[in-house]
Amino acid sequence: MEGGNETVTTDFILSGLFPNVKYVSILIYTIILIYLVAVTRNFILLFLIWIHLRLHTPMYFLLSQLSLVDLAFISSTVPKMMINFLSGRKNITHLACGTQIFFFFTLGGAECILLTLMAYNRYVSVCHPLRYVVIMNHRVCLQMALVSWIGGILASTAHTTYTMSLPICGSREIYHSFCEMPTIMKISCKDTSTYELVVFVMGIAFIIVPFGLIMASYSFIFLTAVSVFCTVLTPMLNPLNYSLRNKDVVGAFQKILRKHPFLGGFLYSGRPTPTQSQGDIGRNNNTGGGQLSSPKVSSHMKSCSSHSGCRVAGASLLSCVLPPPIAQGDRQILGFVTPGPGLLGLRHWNHSPRAAPSPPRRAAARATT
């Protein structure tokens, strides 16, 4: 390609998006709508961060820089596309084409660097929360913003200078809606294979390195979250897995509840019923968790659903009033007997028979006389 005749005109022709499509106007109007929404949202976010003092933090400062990059990035290409479509013109000057390429590379590189620095900000806030204010101070935030912008500008300057200095031979038509470096190199008279390899390597560096750093920061964040979760969860699960499911521990727990009835009452609703005295509570709580010891209890539990004093509490909790004829040994079905509703939600009676009320003294005296 080298040694061809270079064209005299300096303007380029933008063929646009899908030049052979009949209803391309629908696509253009959709792009314009997306552009207006993006500009509006980024302007609102910048205004809120600038005007509200509570948003003057490192995270929102970096977000404001990202919004500024996005706003400039989309404004470097879409307005020219809109002008060409509405006016019917397709040409773009050499200077305007170089400007588009410069801002395209600058803003793309700045966004890659800025996303990496934002990931580092999240890493510091999660993994080093006590040092976050010291590490991410105002000076460091300004340095981050400058590094992202300067890095993008330096990379873009080198690419734009070389691309726009290439000789153009033959047609100057660009099969795109804006100027970009690969399309300029395709219509150049010079062999650009070596430079294309350099551009490819730099592109990989600008994509892979930030992506790797972002993934590394989020990996540290994930490991920190898992470590905190395990620190809190393990002490809760260890007694359940190794102790509370052990038969010896359960037996010891039952013995303690039988020896200390008020402790059992405290653990399982622990208030005495109004019809029970303290002596009744002590006698009723001396029973242990055993098996069904009398057919009376079994027959009573089978007929409990039809008894007027029985009811189902919730979905599965049976609350039943046991009749007085059941002996002390039969009431071991209750398991952990408590002063109120027990472990199974069962209520029990005071089985001591009530004495008949004594007649008044005057009536007794008249009877003797």
Domain extents in the chain: 12-217, 250-334
**How far is the C-alpha of 123 from the C-alpha of 128, rounded, in Å?**
8
Strand bridging mode 311-313 / 317-319: antiparallel
Q: Read off the tokens for 222.
A: 């994930």
What own/partner pairs with CB < 8 Å and gap ≥ 24 does 134-139 have? Answer: 136/58
Is 328 in a helix, a strand, or coil? coil
CA distances (Å), origin 161, targets 66, 101, 127, 157: 26, 10, 43, 6
Cβ burial, residue 253 (10 Å; 0-12/13-18/19+): middle
**How far is the C-alpha of 126 from the C-alpha of 218, rounded, in Å?**
10
pLDDT confidence of residue 264: 58
Kindly give the confidence (pLDDT) of every residue in the chain, 369 residues in length, as a single tens digit, with 9 standing for 90 and above.
444 555 556 788 888 777 777 777 888 889 899 999 999 999 999 999 999 989 999 999 999 999 999 999 999 999 988 888 888 788 899 899 999 999 999 999 999 999 999 999 999 999 998 999 999 999 999 999 999 999 999 989 988 999 988 888 877 888 888 898 888 888 888 888 888 888 888 888 888 888 999 999 999 998 888 888 788 777 777 777 776 667 777 788 788 888 877 665 555 544 444 444 444 444 444 444 444 444 444 454 444 444 444 443 333 333 344 444 443 444 443 443 444 444 444 444 444 444 445 555 554 445 454
CA distances (Å), origin 29, targets 70, 77, 86, 366: 20, 15, 11, 113
Question: Whole-model pTM?
Answer: 0.62
Of 276, 279, 250, 275, nearest to 343 by C-alpha is 250
Instruction: Give the list of residues 6+ apart from residue 156 with CB closer than 8 angstroms, or none.
Output: 101, 102, 103, 104, 105, 106, 109
Q: Read off the tokens for 238.
A: 């260890």
Instruction: Give the list of residues 6+ apart from residue 304 with CB closer than 8 angstroms, or none.
Output: 310, 318, 320
CA distances (Å), origin 233, targets 100, 176, 205, 228, 240: 55, 57, 41, 9, 11
**How far is the C-alpha of 201 from the C-alpha of 335, rounded, in Å?**
76
**How far is the C-alpha of 5 from the C-alpha of 18, rounded, in Å?**
29
**How far is the C-alpha of 203 from the C-alpha of 217, rounded, in Å?**
22
CATH code at 12-217: 1.20.1070.10
**How far is the C-alpha of 31 from the C-alpha of 26, rounded, in Å?**
9
Cβ burial, residue 129 (10 Å; 0-12/13-18/19+): exposed
Exposure letters 267-282 (e unless 16+ CB within 10 A, then b): ebeeebeeebeeebbe
